[in-house]
Structure 1
Amino acid sequence: MSAHTGSTPPALTRFVTDDMEQVREYLGRIYGTRLLIGRVSEGSSRLALSVVDAGSFVTTDLTLPGTQNCRNQDIETVRIGVVVSGTVTIDDGDAVNRYGPGDALVATFPRDDLVSHAEELRIRTVSLPLDLLADVAGVALNGEPPRLLSRSPLGPDASRTIAGTLALTDELLSGPAAGHPLVVGNAARLLAAGVLATFPTTLTLREEARADHAGATPVVLRLATAYIEEHYAEPDLSLARIAAAACATPRAVQYAFRRHHDITPMGYVRRVRLAAAHADLLAADPAAGATVSAIAARWGFYHLGRFSAYYRRVYGHTPRTTLAT
């Protein structure tokens, strides 16, 4: 993405189709060539996509038909989403998170390798270059690349922040000054500031980290762990909810888990859910129609290959072996 210049408004494109090959081709072109779309359920409605390309950023309004599984790899832009309707579950290899209407999320971050499972999803997104976020944060991009600390926002207020920023940007870009480069440039910086205020990354981890380190006590860990053990079956369990239950900031909870368990909070949630899937596999009867994929999906693991890899790493054999015993 390059800076938008000149006096013409940002380009608006609308696309509607029920041809799944066109869906794959178009989404790959918009979101990256490594976005792979899996099976789409029968009787799906049409895909609808509106794209505003402002040069320095791109916003989209996407309606995905039916049930879809996608994979993102090596996409270098930062893409933030706000769910309008339906649900999406993202497995980034560290944690499995489920999002519903009103939730904000990080759809892609540089060097991601993730899979997602969408059901009747409509989502608003904005894509920004990483160097713009670094510039707004006042951080030089040299040495170790920035890291995303959580795909989920820092609480419900943070979700509303990014949703409001997107709405304000839409208003700016639909007004009479939309073609002015100052309007577009400042809209891009506004979006970047909203992203930095909503999601924890190492771009903004400076002095506040000291207070979070101090708050990462065993008491915080105990409260957070107890809450996870009680609520792990709930698909909307998030870092913000865990932190609120532990009376700590999300970063303090992250530090506590890293310090004492060498794992992220949502990674711990995945571990507990994997144990639940293991128990279900042991108790299930394949002769009665039980399947590995259905049990995995019950616990939020929609990518069967990744679930099998997690499972083998922990239990030493495949989930199919457990089901068959």
Structure 2
Amino acid sequence: MRDAALATTRPLRTPGVIHYGSVGANEACDLLNRFYHPLSLGETPGGDVKIEMEVIQLGPLTIGHLTFAGGVTLIAAAADAYHVTLPVTGRVLARHHGREVTAGPATALTFRPGEPVYLRPEAPSAEIDVRIERWALESELATLLGRPVEGPIDLPAAFNLTGGPAHSWSRLIRLLHEELEHGTSLIFQPQVAEHLRSSVLSGLLLSVPHRYHEELAAPGTAGPPRSIRRVLDAINDEPERPFTVAALAGIARMSVRSLQEGFRRHLGCTPMAYLQRTRLDRAHAALRGADPAAVTVASIANRWGFAHLGRFASAYRARFGVSPSETLRRRA
């Protein structure tokens, strides 16, 4: 199935962007699994399903423009990331905890990690689907607050896009989509892409209600001091590097003891615990997107700085509730 889907790929017009022409239900299901969540795709009886996709991936952020011709239903037992659907034309029916929500261009739909996904776009219709890796959104929130958070974040099932910060956030998403056609766009510059990615994540957190929103929006909310932020940036930029606590203290320009105390006060963990969590999150994302015929758990563990496979597997299961091999097999 994967080969058939890839055969529909048109030549890339821009770096980092993948375009798919009109594909049928089987190919579309494979593509949606590849870029979003493990799901099944149902067809309306008598309908001729055709889907077009245009996708850009900026690290843990995936933005895709999907066009549907023919009735289709998208179902996932559980989302494995934060997901936001912004209808562009037509309407989309979603189900949340037994309640049906119908959204048009004025309303966005959200799903949290662990929640079942049910989407039924009417045909013809188009939508922008945003996937944010769980670790990325929760790390962004923790950095903004200057302390650890307990996820998943309780984003609302739907939110209005017609005014306020949410309207501004939706314009940012649409801007990123519109820039895909321009190969010389600044969004393909790594430094700019990094700022845009952070803007999308922090913008969503500031635009919708959740249990941390009041604290986040309060005047004078202080994040970690600059010295701690330097260490966070170093870890998030290159978590695979063989950092030691002494090396991280050097980056912070403080003593090891002061660094340890600073992390406990502002992040609620030690620097090395934060490093391991970041590595586990990156390994999880890599396993989820990998082809099990082409890579192994060991190669991904090694890629993200884990030298001992057994300890990696134990820590991975403790964080995600499944083994690394189970995550990799879901791609088969």
Q: TM-score range by the shorter chain?
A: 0.5 to 0.7
List structure 1 runs of 4+ shifted beyond 6 angstroms.
none
Task: Tell me the residue number matched to 2:112.
Answer: 109
1:146 match: secondary structure: coil
1:172 Cα deviation after fit: 6.0
Instruction: Please state how far the C-alpha of 1:10 moved relative to its aligned partner.
Output: 5.0
| 1:123 to partner: Cα distance | 0.2
Output the CA distance in 1 between the equivalents of 2:100 and 2:147: 29
Q: Structure 2: which amino acid aligns with 1:114? A: V
- Pair 1:11 & 2:16 matched: yes
Q: CA deviation at 1:11?
A: 1.3
Q: Distance in 1 between matches of 2:178 and 2:122?
A: 29
1:198 aligned to 207, 218, 232, which one? 207
* Alignment-derived partner of residue 162 in structure 2: 156
Q: 1:130 aligned to 2:134? A: yes
2:167 partner SS: helix
For 1:93 and 1:154, locate their aligned partners in 2 and report how far apart those are by CA, in whole Å. Answer: 20
Q: Which amino acid aligns with 2:19?
A: R
AA aligned to 1:111 is G
Between the two proteins, the alignment pairs up a number of residues equal to 199
Deviation of residue 18 (structure 1)? 4.1
Q: Determine helix, strand or coil for the equivalent of 2:122.
A: strand
In structure 2, relative to structure 1, the CA distance for the partners of 1:50 and 1:93 (3 Å cut) is same
> What is the rounded CA distance, in whole Å, between the counterparts of 1:150 and 1:92 in structure 2?
10
Partner of 1:90: 94
Higher relative contact order (CA 8 A, sep 6+): 1
What is the CA–CA distance in structure 2 between the aligned matches of 1:48 and 1:172, rounded to whole Å? 18
Give me the whole-angstrom Cα distance separating, in 1, the residues matched to 2:33 and 2:216: 39
Distance 2:151 2:206 in 1: 19
* Structure 1, unpaired ranges of 5+: 1-8, 210-325
Cα pair distance change 1:100/1:134, threshold 3 Å: same
- Change in CA separation of 1:101 and 1:171 when aligned onto 2, cut-off 3 Å: closer
State the 1:70 CA deviation. 1.8
Q: Is the 8 A contact 1:58 1:126 kept in 2?
A: yes
For structure 2, the residue ranges without an aligned partner over 5 or more in a row are 1-13, 219-332
**How far did residue 94 of structure 1 move?**
5.2
Q: Deviations over 1:58-85 (max 9, x none)?
A: 1110012222222123322212221111
Q: Residues 145 and 163 of structure 1: is their aligned pair in 2 closer, same or farther, counting only changes over 3 Å? A: closer
Q: 1: CA distance between counterparts of 2:37 and 2:117? A: 13
Asked if 1:79 corresponds to 2:88, the answer is no
CA spacing shift, 1:100–1:65, aligned 2, 3 Å: same
Q: CA deviation at 1:16?
A: 2.1
TM-score by length of 2: 0.53
Give the CA RMSD over aligned residues: 2.8
**Secondary structure, in 3 states, of the residue corresponding to 1:156?**
coil
Q: Structure 1 length normalisation: TM-score?
A: 0.54
SS of equivalent to 1:147: coil
Q: Taking every aligned residue pair, what percent have the same amino acid on both sides? A: 18
Match of 2:290? none
- Pick aligned residue for 1:146 from 152, 160, 163: 152
